Amino acid sequence: MVHWDVKGKSVLITGGASGLGAAYVQGFLKAGIKQVAVLDIAEDAGKQFTADMNKTYPGKVIFVKCDVGNEECITAAFNEVVAKFKTVDIVFNNAGIMNDAPHIWRKMCDVNVQGLISFTYKAIKHMRTDDGGAGGTIINIASVAAITKGDLLPAYSATKTAVLQFSQCIAGNLFEQAGIRILTLCPGPTDTPLLHNLKERGGDERAGEKLENVLTNSEVVTQSVDSAVKAMLKMYEDAENGSIWLTTDNKPVKNITPVIDDAFNSFMNAMRN
């Protein structure tokens, strides 16, 4: 098994100014990366977080304001990071919205799907070893919502299923052809602000109340941020291109690629028979 080391790597992460994204940034820094670009739409929070991180890791963190739901912003931000870092080794598509409310779900689709796809394509073009790049890793955040059935957040679940399928399809033979890994991480409920104000995140009042009741149920294990960060780093170290990983319930991260492959194979067999 090949062991991948984050030490000395240059990282671009979206949605990195707060919540789990900020924790991922700190995890990377503790693991010895060279530098990280924190992209986020929240400018004040991003600048403050960057300043705080640079007190402990001088000169290693930059902030770039970016609306991941806006293509012009994505292009400008990506180009700015490349201009400063020259080489980006890891592109981490972490930014996401979890909100099925009528006035938000379209924006959620833009951020969770279109923004992630755009950054992935830009990263591939930058990293390709068969076109002058240095190779690298792209991490796409899906969710357990992509692989479970339920009526709590149908629009959100659809976006995360799209992430899972897109990542699987584009991974293909990308590592053999261009030296790039596409990795997909599916976190379960995690103790971050994303789980706050749950009533407001449903498609309507009834859905919001049901969402809150289910996710605050004592039987639902909310994993710690530390557990989620350790899972991500372990995945980075061990994962093969195109693999899918599950992190939930504060358990060790698990490679669920065989489970997903079996499901696809069963479907293909059903089509043929």
Domain that includes residue 200, residue range: 10-271
Please check whether residue 218 lies inside any domain of the structure: yes
Please check whether residue 5 lies inside any domain of the structure: no
Please check whether residue 214 lies inside any domain of the structure: yes
| Arithmetic mean of pLDDT over the chain | 93
Please check whether residue 182 lies inside any domain of the structure: yes
pLDDT of the residue at 5: 97
Please check whether residue 3 lies inside any domain of the structure: no
Report the candidate in 51, 118, 125 with the shortest Cα–Cα distance to residue 88: 125
What is the mean pLDDT of each successive set of 10 residues along the chain, which is 273 residues long?
92 97 98 99 98 98 98 99 99 95 94 99 99 98 91 91 98 98 95 69 66 67 92 98 96 96 89 87
Q: Tokens 């079996």, residue?
A: 262
Please check whether residue 1 lies inside any domain of the structure: no
* CATH number of the domain residue 104 falls in: 3.40.50.720
Report the candidate in 34, 38, 32 with the shortest Cα–Cα distance to residue 52: 38
Domain count of the fold of the chain: 1
Report the candidate in 104, 85, 72, 106 with the shortest Cα–Cα distance to residue 13: 85
Please check whether residue 150 lies inside any domain of the structure: yes
Q: How far is CA 203 from CA 53, 158, 229, in A?
A: 37, 13, 30
236 is catalytic: no
pLDDT of the residue at 202: 66
Please check whether residue 2 lies inside any domain of the structure: no
Q: Tokens 């602000």, residue?
A: 193
